């Protein structure tokens, strides 16, 4: 009955909030025409949201009513309800479009936090089956931005997009000098729906907080308000891609040749049109194609881990949307191979619209935290979690969310204490952990700085990529994180102690100890691989 009452509340609250205040919003707005569009769109979206939420709640309540907890019958019915509810949520995301598609994409990355039925449903659709703008709408954008149609701007232009995402779609074209390019065209409705999505999200979040004061996701509205305009400016995206590569050549030259972003055709790009070098490659989760191209999935996983570790801990300028559709991999153009004759991979980063900058203090604390997590240092975990805003009461939970491991595993001194095997028991354990501490998780997300929340989203995406490549995580992945975070901490400490030779010596000795520990971990990994090869397990 409680769930049924909640469903009714959601519908009534959605209806009341969607209709109340519309006239006032139009009357007080500096742009009444835009406000009218927003205020006519918001009620429809809110009613859809409320109806979908109520439908899902009722389905769970009535389908599971009277079935004993833990019984096979209940598990079977729950699986069916999960599937139905995931499809309802998928339909809602597609009907509303825009930001809702991005939400669905994020759900598809939460491998270990929500039921697998939701993850699989969203992953199969949100990354490659987004709504498509018609060719007439594409022409409308071209005329507004460049004053010409696509056929006038390019020698060839395929009217059928090769990919469509939440904010834009991509067409293949050829310039008049014969270069093959990818043209990213913003959906024509985004300007209006973006404002409506923000207004809708704010109403939903405020309503949830009103109904349940412990559920506070108002930070999400602030993040959408800040990040969405940047993602809708394709010239900003182009500048981000250039800065990203410059950072690798300047601060991480040892892997710079292994990371690439498409070159931008600036004369054919505007805030709503982006023309880039066309890239051939396999999606980072397409293990079959990666192998056909002569590369090893494990080496691709290592490259992905090192690339983003360098961004987070050394550059402080992080690509925050690394889901599978935004990461391609191809053999290194130089033809370089590994000692086993496999082709070296090159990671191609796409969609540079969402970046976050970490200031020195945040980057230093975040690198120090990950170093402490890898080396199972409870004091370091607590100290740096507190510095990042988790507080002395929730630092254990923060460590669990970052690693997807319970606290007893986080501080286990075994070398593979953070490794997730991707088994059903692993997944069940983490989902139970998340549901048990949901109020505390909500409080933690409210406390953390928004830049750290984006790092959590990035971790979710990378974890999903690793799971696709390795069917879980690997010890080697965490060794890379431990090494790069340690290097970043040492560099930061050296910068802070420019004139103290004694302090430099202490830092150097500290680094030698950590290098020795990493060597031990490497040896342990080698022994595990030898044992696996010998025993076949």
Q: Could you give the 3-state DSSP secondary structure of residue 19? A: helix
Instruction: Please say whether the beta carbons of 428 and 420 come within 8 A.
Output: no
Angle, CA of 157, 160 and 161, to the nearest 5° = 95
Element (H, E) at 180: strand 180-186
Read off the tokens for 389. 């805003």
Which residues partner with 184 through β-bridges?
170, 274
Burial class (CB in 10 A: 0-12, 13-18, 19+), 399: buried
Q: What residues contact 521, with CB distance under 8 A and at least 6 apart?
A: 415, 475, 479, 482
**Residue 233 a catalytic site member:** no
Determine the distance from the C-alpha atom of residue 243 to the mean position of all C-alpha atoms in its chain, rounded to a whole number. Answer: 20
Question: Between helices 190-211 and 99-107, what is the axis angle to 10°?
Answer: 60
Catalytic site residue from 321, 351, 359, 426:
321
Listing DSSP states for 109-124 in one string gives T-TTTS-HHHHHHHHH
How many angstroms separate the CA atoms of 430 and 111, rounded? Answer: 10
Listing DSSP states for 268-312 in one string gives G--SSEEEEE----EETT-HHHHHHTT--HHHHHHHHHHHHHHII
Angle, CA of 119, 357 and 235, to the nearest 5° = 85
How many angstroms separate the CA atoms of 535 and 537, rounded? Answer: 5
Instruction: Please say whether the beta carbons of 125 and 131 come within 8 A.
Output: no
How many angstroms separate the CA atoms of 361 and 299, rounded? Answer: 32
User: Could you give phi then psi for residue 186, rounded to 5 degrees?
Assistant: -70, 140
The DSSP 8-state label assigned to residue 264 in this structure reads B
430 closest CA partner among 454, 458, 452, 406: 406
User: Could you give phi then psi for residue 395, rounded to 5 degrees?
Assistant: -65, -30
Q: What residues contact 436, with CB distance under 8 A and at least 6 apart?
A: none
Instruction: Please say whether the beta carbons of 284 and 225 come within 8 A.
Output: no
Q: Could you give the 3-state DSSP secondary structure of residue 168? A: strand
The DSSP 8-state label assigned to residue 81 in this structure reads H
Q: Could you give the 3-state DSSP secondary structure of residue 394? A: coil
Pairing of strands 345-349, 327-331: antiparallel
Which residues partner with 185 through β-bridges?
169, 273
Question: CB neighbours (10 Å) of residue 422?
Answer: 16
Q: What residues contact 516, with CB distance under 8 A and at least 6 apart?
A: none
Residues annotated as part of the active site:
321
């Amino acid at each position: 009955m409680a769930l049924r009452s909640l469903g009714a509340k959601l519908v009534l609250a959605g209806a009341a909030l969607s209709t109340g205040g519309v006239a006032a919003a139009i009357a007080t707005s500096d742009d009444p025409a835009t406000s009218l569009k927003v205020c006519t769109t918001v009620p429809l979206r809110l009613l859809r949201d409320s109806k979908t939420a109520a439908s899902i709640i009722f389905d769970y309540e009535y389908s599971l009513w009277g079935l004993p907890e833990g019984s096979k019958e209940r598990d079977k019915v729950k699986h069916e309800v999960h599937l139905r509810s995931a499809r309802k949520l998928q339909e809602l995301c597609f009907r509303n479009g825009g930001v809702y598609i991005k939400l669905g994409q994020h759900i598809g990355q939460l491998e270990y936090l929500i039921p697998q039925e939701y993850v699989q449903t969203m992953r199969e659709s949100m990354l490659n089956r987004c709504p498509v703008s018609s060719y007439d709408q594409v022409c409308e954008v071209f005329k507004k931005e460049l004053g010409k149609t696509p056929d006038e701007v390019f020698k060839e232009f395929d009217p059928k997009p090769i990919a469509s995402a939440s904010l834009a779609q991509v067409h293949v074209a050829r310039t008049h000098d014969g270069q093959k390019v990818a043209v990213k065209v913003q959906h024509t409705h985004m300007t209006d729906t973006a404002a409506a999505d923000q207004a809708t999200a704010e109403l939903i979040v405020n309503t949830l907080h009103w109904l349940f004061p412990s559920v506070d996701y108002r930070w999400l509205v602030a993040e959408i308000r800040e990040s969405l305009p940047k993602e809708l400016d394709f010239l900003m995206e182009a500048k981000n891609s250039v800065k990203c590569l410059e950072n690798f050549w300047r601060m991480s030259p040892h892997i710079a040749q292994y990371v690439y972003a498409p070159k931008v055709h600036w004369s054919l790009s505007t805030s709503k049109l982006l023309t880039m070098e066309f890239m051939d490659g396999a999606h980072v989760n397409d293990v079959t194609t990666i192998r056909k191209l002569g590369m090893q999935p494990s080496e691709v996983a290592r490259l992905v881990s090192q690339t983003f570790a360098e961004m987070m801990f050394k550059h402080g300028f992080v690509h925050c949307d690394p889901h599978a559709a935004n990461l391609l991999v191809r053999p290194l153009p130089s033809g370089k191979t590994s000692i086993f004759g496999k082709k070296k991979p090159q990671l191609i980063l796409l969609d540079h619209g969402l970046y976050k900058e970490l200031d020195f203090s945040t980057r230093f604390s975040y690198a120090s935290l990950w170093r402490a997590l890898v080396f199972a240092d409870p004091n370091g975990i607590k100290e740096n979690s507190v510095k990042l805003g988790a507080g002395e009461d929730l630092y254990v939970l923060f460590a669990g969310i970052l690693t997807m491991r319970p606290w007893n595993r986080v501080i286990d001194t075994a070398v593979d204490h953070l490794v997730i095997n991707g088994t059903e028991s692993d997944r069940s354990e983490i989902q139970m952990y998340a549901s048990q501490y949901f109020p505390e998780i909500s409080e933690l997300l409210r406390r953390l700085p928004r830049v750290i929340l984006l790092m959590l989203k990035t971790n979710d995406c990378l974890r999903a990529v690793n799971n696709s490549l390795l069917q879980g995580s690997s010890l080697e992945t965490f060794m890379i994180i431990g090494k790069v975070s340690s290097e970043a901490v040492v560099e930061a400490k050296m910068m802070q102690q420019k004139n103290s030779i004694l302090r430099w010596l202490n830092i150097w000795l500290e680094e030698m100890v950590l290098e020795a520990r990493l060597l031990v971990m490497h040896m342990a990994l080698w022994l595990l691989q030898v044992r696996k090869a010998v025993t076949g397990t």
